[in-house]
Structure 1
Amino acid sequence: MTADVSIPDYDDLDAVARARWDEQIARHGRVTHMKRTLLHAVPAFDALMTWYPLFDAVKAVVGERAALFFAHAISAANHCLICDTFFVKILRDRGLDPANLVYDATEDLLVRFGRALVADGGRVPDALLGEVKASFGEADLVLLTGFASLMIATNLINTALRVPLDEYLYAYTAVRSE
């Protein structure tokens, strides 16, 4: 798969984009192909990098494992090669088999909710939406949906722009989920 949009190198970027690159290196040790692609448009990069504080907020509500399962379910349902493979790597690195995950009740609810947010244009069945609201309350329902929308947006960037898989993820493609 070739990128429809070039993946700029550091020297190709303006000063503002280079500052964002430097911040990514400091925080995460690398700048992925998706992030490099987004650096063509710093406002788009900035918007999608709010994924990190939203993910932290979701983890604070449901725990890290459930948050990972939620994000993975969304990316797998969206058939996003990069994001799905990224979460497969994280799960495998934690000793979990992405093809044979066993969920507790909260994780199962979040996985079903994540998949439903992707299916049918985001029209979540009333019963499922009610179950999530009853389990988490309105504020956390909004938080979970907001995070999911940003996860879906990252999936869309990667898929629509045909961003190539980062080399560090190659070893994890054979174990991708459904």
Structure 2
Amino acid sequence: MARVHLKQPNELTGEAKAAYEKLDAAGKVTNMKLVMLQDYGIYKAFMGWYDAWESLEKTVGLRAATIFAHSVSTTNGCLLCSLFFISDLKALGLDPNNFETSENEKLLQQLGQQIVKDPTKVPDELFEGLRKFYTDEQIIIIVGFGAQMQATNNFNSVLGVDVDKRLLPLKELFKPATWRENIK
């Protein structure tokens, strides 16, 4: 259950109300977006995620982008975001908890995990591996998206944003990360 009280859509005003109406007309209202619309500036800042996603998808492809976002979200333990990417992996025909990765997808998974676990200790060897597939400009896009994804994870987890109804049947597929259990 969300930790904050939400205004109802009919209580939104100004730019937030206009943004809600646009989302509603397109069938794109989610619990996260409704929470963010409580402050239009926050909503606008986080909607930059979609621009970062578009750049990432153009850079690495849909499958690799989905694997990377799933890696960041599951390592960070964000139930809501993890379920979105579990849904997306299933739509790609993948078992979210058991799928084969290519070499570059494996590197992206490792980078996603490291961005969450300790971004100050990303091994040089990981960057050397990434450079086999991506330019520095492309690596900037990948890391930029990873940071945006982590911020989105943190927003949803800290506020306890409710899982969207369409994702509830997938909850059993979410395997919470356990790496933090050993941190003192």
**1:1-178 paired onto structure 2 within 5 Å:** 2-27=1-26, 29-178=27-176
Structure 2 counterpart SS, 1:127: helix
Instruction: Spell out structure 1 runs of 4+ moving beyond 4 A.
Output: none
Q: Is the 8 A contact 1:78 1:118 kept in 2?
A: yes
| Deviation (angstroms), 1:96 | 1.4
Cα RMSD between the aligned structures?
1.5
Task: State TM-score, norm by structure 1.
Answer: 0.92
TM-score in terms of structure 2 length: 0.89
How far off its partner does 1:121 sit?
4.4
How much does 1:15 deviate? Answer: 2.0
Counterparts of 1:170 and 1:103 in 2: how far apart (Å)? 26
DSSP-derived class of the 1:135 partner: coil
What one-letter code is carried by the residue in structure 2 that aligns with 1:5? V
Structure 2 unaligned blocks of 5 or more: 177-184
After superposition, the Cα gap between the structure-2 partners of 1:98 and 1:13, relative to the gap in structure 1 and judged at 3 Å, is same
Aligned with 2:135: secondary structure? helix
- Name 2:180's counterpart in structure 1: none
Shift of 1:143: 0.8
Deviations for 1:67-94, whole angstroms, at most 9, x for unmatched residues? 0000000000000000001111111233
Per-residue deviation, 1:14: 1.0
Q: Note if contact 2:63-2:92 (Cα within 8 Å) is conserved in structure 1.
A: no
Q: Give the residue type in structure 2 aligned to 1:6.
A: H
Deviation for aligned residue 1:98: 0.4
- Structure number having the greater helix percentage: 1
Task: Count the aligned residue pairs.
Answer: 176
Residues 86-144 of structure 1, C-alpha deviation per residue, up to 9 Å, x if partnerless?
11111123321101111011111111111111112453122213322443121111111
- Measure how far apart 1:42 and its partner are: 0.9
CA–CA separation in structure 2 for the residues paired with 1:122 and 1:23: 40
Aligned-partner Cα distance in 2 for 1:104–1:26: 39
Further displaced range: 8-17 or 122-131: 122-131
Cα pair distance change 1:87/1:63, threshold 3 Å: same
Percent identity, please.
Answer: 33
